[in-house]
C-alpha cells in the first residue's frame, strides 16, 4: 500500500485575529476584556527570555491554582437552590465535563456568568423534553443540539413548573452522570476577616456525600540555551529595514510559531536536517529562556493578574526583549470565546497568545479552529 501525498492536502482553515496595542490603561482594559471572554483555560505557558527562574513577583500567583474533580455527579445538583445561592449568585463558578468529546458525546459546562450549557446528541435531546436549538455546526446532518439554562433566572425556582420539568430532564438516564472538573472564586470582601475560602465548594459537595478529589496543577519547567529571539514590533513598525532587503521585526505568525517551538523544546539549530526553523530578520541574543508550562483549570481573573504582573515585570527589566503568555483553551468545552458555541470539526483549538515588551508594545494573537468539517 502506497502512502498518500499528504503534502498535497489542504491544511484546515483557522480563524486568526491579531492586534497590536500600547501600554496604556485603555488598551489594557480591552485585552483584559478579551481574556475574561475565554473562561475554560486548560494550559498556560510562560516564556521568559534571558531568565533562568520564575520571578518572585509572579510566583505567588502560580501556587494556589489547584482545582477539584467529582465523579458520577448528576446534573440536578447544579440546579438546586443552595448551590445556586451560595456559588453561582455569589462569586464565580467554573465547571466543565471531563473525558467527554464535543463531537460525539454529551458535554456540559457552567460559565462564571451562571450559564449552564449542554451540548448533546440528537437522541439525548429528543429524550430530555426541554427547549434548545440545533447546533450551528450540525445544520446539515441535524445530529447535535445545544441547551442553555440561566441559573440566575427567576425561572429556576422550586415552585415553578419549568423547574420541575428541568429536574426531570436532567435526571434522564440518557444523560446519566458526569465527571466534572470545577473551581470557584469567592466574592471579594473589603474586610479580610469576612473573606470566604475557595475550598468551600469542595466542602459543600463533600457534605452531600460525594467524593471530591483535589487536582493539583501540573507544572513543568525547562531552560533553552543559546537562543537568538526575533524582535516584537508594532502596528506602525515596518517589517523590513530601510534598504528594503532584509526583515527587521518579526510578523505575528512568526512570533507565535517561535514561542510554540520554545514551549515544545524543539531543536532550533539551523544544522538540524529534519527539524529546522529559520528567521531572516534581526534577532536579539539572550543566551537562554525559561519556559513554564502549567496544566489545570485556570480562571479568567488569574490570567488577567498574570498578564498585568508580566507586563509590569518586563517594564522594570528593559534588557528582556519580550515575555510571552500562551493560554490554551479546553478543546472539548461546549463554549469558547464570548460564550459562543465551540465546534470540534478539525483541531478544537481555542487559544490565544500575549507578547509584551519593555518598550510599551503588546501583541494579542487569537486562533480558533475552523468550523468547516473535513471532507
What is the value of pTM for the model shown? 0.89
Q: Is residue 2 part of a domain?
A: no
27 and 75 both lie in a single domain: no
278 and 342 both lie in a single domain: yes
Number of separate domains in the chain: 2
Q: Which of 215, 233, 260 is the last residue of a domain?
A: 215
222 and 353 both lie in a single domain: yes
193 and 230 both lie in a single domain: no
Q: Is residue 5 part of a domain?
A: no
Q: Which of 163, 191, 215 is the last residue of a domain?
A: 215
86 and 182 both lie in a single domain: yes
3-state per-residue secondary structure call for the chain: CCCCCHHHCCCCCEEEEEEEEECCHHHHHHHHHHHHCCCCEEEEEEEEECCCCCCCCCCHHHHCCCEEEEEEEEHHHHHCHHHHHHHHCCCEEEEEECCCCCCCCCEEEECCCCEEEEEEEHHHHHHHCCCCEECCCCCCCCCEEEEEEECCCCCCCCCCHHHHHHHHHHCCCCCCEEEEEEEEECCCCCCHHHCCCCCHHHHHHHHCCCCEEEECCEEEEEEEECCEEECECCCCCCCECCCCCCECCECHHHHHHHHHHHHCCCCCCCCCCCCCCCCCCCEEECCEEEEEEEEEEECHHHHHHHHHHHHHHHHHCCCCCCEEEEEEECCCCCECHHHCECCCCCCCCEEEEEEECCCCEEEEEEEEECCCCCC
124 and 223 both lie in a single domain: no
Q: Which of 171, 193, 215 is the last residue of a domain?
A: 215
Q: Is residue 4 part of a domain?
A: no
Domain interval for residue 101 = 67-215
Q: Is residue 336 part of a domain?
A: yes
272 and 187 both lie in a single domain: no
177 and 229 both lie in a single domain: no
47 and 143 both lie in a single domain: no
375 residues of the chain, pLDDT tens digit each: 455 666 666 666 778 888 888 767 778 888 999 999 999 999 999 999 998 888 888 887 787 789 999 999 999 999 999 999 999 999 999 999 999 998 889 999 999 999 999 999 999 999 998 999 998 888 778 889 999 999 998 888 778 888 999 999 999 988 989 999 999 999 886 666 667 888 999 999 999 999 999 999 999 999 988 888 888 877 666 555 545 555 678 888 888 988 888 888 777 666 655 556 667 777 888 888 999 999 999 999 999 999 999 999 998 998 899 999 999 999 889 999 988 888 766 677 889 999 998 877 889 999 887 766 555
Amino acid at each position: 500500500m502506497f502512502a498518500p501525498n499528504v503534502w498535497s492536502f489542504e491544511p484546515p482553515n483557522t480563524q486568526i485575529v491579531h492586534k497590536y496595542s500600547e501600554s496604556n490603561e485603555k488598551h489594557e482594559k480591552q485585552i483584559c476584556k478579551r481574556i475574561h471572554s475565554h473562561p475554560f483555560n486548560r494550559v498556560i505557558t510562560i516564556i521568559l527570555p534571558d531568565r533562568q527562574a520564575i520571578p518572585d513577583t509572579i510566583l505567588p500567583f502560580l501556587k494556589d491554582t489547584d482545582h477539584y474533580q467529582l465523579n458520577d455527579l448528576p446534573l440536578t445538583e447544579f440546579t438546586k437552590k443552595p448551590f445556586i445561592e451560595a456559588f453561582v449568585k455569589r462569586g464565580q463558578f467554573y465547571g466543565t465535563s471531563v473525558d467527554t468529546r464535543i463531537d460525539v458525546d454529551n458535554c456540559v459546562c457552567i460559565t462564571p456568568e451562571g450559564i449552564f450549557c449542554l451540548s448533546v446528541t440528537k437522541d439525548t435531546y429528543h429524550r430530555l423534553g426541554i427547549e434548545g436549538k440545533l447546533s450551528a455546526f450540525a445544520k446539515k446532518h441535524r445530529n447535535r443540539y445545544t441547551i442553555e439554562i440561566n441559573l440566575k433566572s427567576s425561572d429556576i425556582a422550586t415552585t415553578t413548573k419549568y423547574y420541575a420539568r428541568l429536574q426531570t430532564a436532567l435526571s434522564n438516564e440518557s444523560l446519566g452522570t458526569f465527571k466534572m472538573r470545577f473551581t470557584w472564586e469567592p466574592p471579594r470582601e473589603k474586610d479580610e476577616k469576612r473573606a470566604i475560602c475557595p475550598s468551600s465548594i469542595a466542602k459543600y459537595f463533600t457534605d452531600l456525600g460525594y467524593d471530591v478529589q483535589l487536582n493539583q496543577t501540573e507544572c513543568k519547567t525547562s531552560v533553552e540555551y543559546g537562543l537568538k529571539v526575533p524582535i516584537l514590533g508594532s502596528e506602525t513598525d515596518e517589517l523590513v529595514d530601510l534598504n528594503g532587503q532584509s526583515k527587521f521585526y518579526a510578523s505575528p505568525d512568526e512570533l507565535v510559531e517561535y514561542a510554540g517551538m520554545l514551549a515544545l523544546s524543539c531543536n532550533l539549530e539551523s544544522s538540524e536536517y529534519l527539524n529546522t526553523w529559520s528567521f531572516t530578520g534581526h534577532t536579539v541574543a539572550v543566551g537562554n529562556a525559561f519556559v513554564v508550562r502549567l496544566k489545570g483549570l485556570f480562571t479568567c481573573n488569574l490570567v488577567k493578574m498574570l498578564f498585568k504582573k508580566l507586563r509590569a515585570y518586563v517594564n522594570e527589566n528593559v534588557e528582556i526583549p519580550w515575555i510571552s503568555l500562551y493560554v490554551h483553551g479546553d478543546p472539548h468545552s461546549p463554549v469558547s470565546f464570548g460564550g459562543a458555541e465551540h465546534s470540534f470539526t478539525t483541531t478544537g483549538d481555542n487559544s490565544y497568545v500575549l507578547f509584551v515588551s519593555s518598550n510599551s508594545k503588546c501583541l494579542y494573537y487569537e486562533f480558533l479552529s475552523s468550523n468547516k468539517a473535513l471532507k
